[in-house]
């Protein structure tokens, strides 16, 4: 009796359907394929001249899962994928709009984070939970001191929607003279050349085809004043979404960061921001007048330029 053939285009969707909403990368799926279809997997290995070990077989299944992804998703639109490293697969019966709505509901029920610092990671993190993770990543990867901007600390003199999309979620300063000889630092301070790079980021729990343009243009609106503007998200669903983000980047220059909410150090800059040579100080002036947190941020930027000191406890929000 012939051994059954391994039909990944059928097996993978079934495995995902049995585990709704569970994120699995290609290797985890390959291990499940082997566990649930051992005879077909052994037969596949025996037919191959180069697969000498179990690891060779698993790696081949990983490659084939990746290659068959477009076919799988065309047949089973419930199979979704996240972008970034590693790509994850999951089964969802929700519409794209419902996924975003669910992420926003988590956000609405969460408390405001006042300090940018590493914290324990739990399931169903809210957008606010992502702020300290982004701050941790920026500090580790780019030596950026990050600070939360709380829109509730605004005066709202312009009415309920007068400052819509005005404030970024996170701002930061990068010391470009870090590690320089003191004599050179003093020289640069006299020439008037830039000694710091200002960062700004809009943070989202999920970006997919239903909200990608709104999320990106929100980042364009509230972060383009900075030297480096980013849209950061814990999940970016679908290659179509990434294609849209690349197209929008070509027009507006806001970069994209994928936050790894399980291990922030494994977060990635998927699209580097197009750096602005000069800060838009006119927009900064509006932000200073409207928001107490941003005023504190600018005060600390001024302190850095005057003294070269980023101050102890930079990440603490002003009280």
**107 vs 82: CA distance, rounded Å:** 20
CATH number, domain 8-93, options 1.10.10.10, 3.40.50.300, 1.10.569.10, 3.30.565.10: 1.10.10.10
Beta strand 144-148 with 79-81 is unpaired
Report pLDDT for 119: 40
**90 vs 52: CA distance, rounded Å:** 30
User: The tokens of 75 are what?
Assistant: 């047949």
Give CA angle at 7 (4, 12), nearest 5°.
Answer: 130
Q: How many CB atoms lie within 10 A of CB 139?
A: 20
Burial of residue 55, with CB atoms counted within 10 A of its CB: 0-12 exposed, 13-18 middle, 19 or more buried = exposed
Report pLDDT for 317: 41
**267 vs 193: CA distance, rounded Å:** 31
The answer to whether 76 and 14 are in contact (CB under 8 A) is no
Report pLDDT for 58: 86
Report pLDDT for 311: 57
What proportions of the chain, in percent to the nearest 5, are helix, strand and coil? Answer: 45, 15, 35
Provide DSSP, 168-219: -SEEEEEETTTT--HHHHHHHHHHT---EEEEEEEEEEEE-TTTHHHHHHHH
Among residues 201, 213, 220, 215, the alpha carbon closest in space to that of 269 is found at: 201
Beta strand 79-81 with 88-91 is antiparallel
**319 vs 317: CA distance, rounded Å:** 6
Domain residue spans of the chain: 8-93, 100-307
For residue 237, the 8-state DSSP code is B
CA distances, 140 to each of 64, 109, 231 (Å)? 35, 29, 18
State the greatest distance between any 2 C-alpha atoms of the chain, in Å, as a whole number: 84
Q: Mapping DSSP to helix (H, G, I), strand (E, B) and coil, where does residue 116 land?
A: coil
**62 vs 58: CA distance, rounded Å:** 6
**242 vs 274: CA distance, rounded Å:** 17
User: The tokens of 84 are what?
Assistant: 């970034």
Report pTM: 0.68
Report pLDDT for 104: 60
Per-residue tens of pLDDT for the chain, all 319 residues: 455 677 888 889 999 999 988 888 888 998 888 888 888 888 887 777 667 788 888 888 888 888 888 888 888 988 888 877 778 889 888 877 777 766 665 544 444 433 344 443 345 578 889 999 999 999 989 989 999 998 888 877 666 665 778 889 999 999 887 777 777 777 876 666 677 899 999 999 999 988 999 999 999 999 999 999 999 999 998 888 999 999 999 999 999 999 988 888 889 999 999 999 999 999 999 999 999 999 999 999 999 888 877 654 444 343 3
Distance of CA 61 to the CA centre of its chain: 28
Stretch (H or E) spanning 244: helix 239-252
């Amino acid at each position: 009796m012939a051994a059954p053939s391994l039909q990944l285009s059928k097996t993978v969707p079934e495995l995902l359907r049995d585990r709704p909403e569970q994120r699995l990368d290609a290797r985890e799926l390959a291990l499940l394929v082997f566990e649930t279809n051992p005879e077909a997997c052994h037969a596949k290995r025996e037919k191959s001249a180069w697969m000498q070990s179990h690891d060779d077989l698993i790696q081949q299944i990983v490659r084939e899962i990746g290659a068959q992804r477009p076919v799988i998703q065309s047949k089973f639109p419930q199979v979704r994928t996240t972008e970034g490293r590693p790509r994850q697969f999951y089964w969802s019966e929700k519409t794209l709009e419902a996924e975003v709505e669910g992420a926003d509901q988590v956000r609405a029920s969460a408390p405001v984070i006042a300090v940018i610092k590493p914290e324990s990671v739990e399931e169903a993190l809210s957008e606010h939970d992502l702020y300290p993770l982004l701050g941790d990543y920026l500090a580790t990867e780019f030596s950026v001191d990050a600070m939360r901007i709380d829109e509730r600390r605004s005066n709202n003199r312009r009415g309920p929607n007068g400052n819509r999309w005005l404030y970024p979620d996170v701002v930061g300063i990068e010391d470009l003279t870090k590690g320089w000889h003191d004599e050179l630092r003093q020289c640069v301070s006299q020439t008037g050349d830039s000694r710091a790079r200002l960062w700004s980021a809009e943070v989202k729990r999920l970006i997919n085809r239903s909200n990608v343009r709104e999320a990106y243009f929100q980042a364009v609106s509230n972060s383009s004043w900075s030297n480096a503007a980013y849209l950061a998200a814990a999940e970016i669903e679908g290659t179509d979404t990434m294609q849209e983000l690349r197209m929008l980047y070509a027009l507006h220059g806001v970069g994209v960061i994928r936050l790894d909410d399980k291990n922030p150090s494994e977060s990635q800059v998927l699209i580097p921001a197009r750096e602005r040579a000069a800060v838009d100080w006119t927009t900064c002036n509006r932000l200073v007048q409207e928001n107490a947190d941003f005023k504190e941020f600018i005060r600390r930027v001024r302190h850095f330029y005057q003294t070269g000191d980023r101050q102890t406890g930079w990440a603490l929000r002003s009280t």
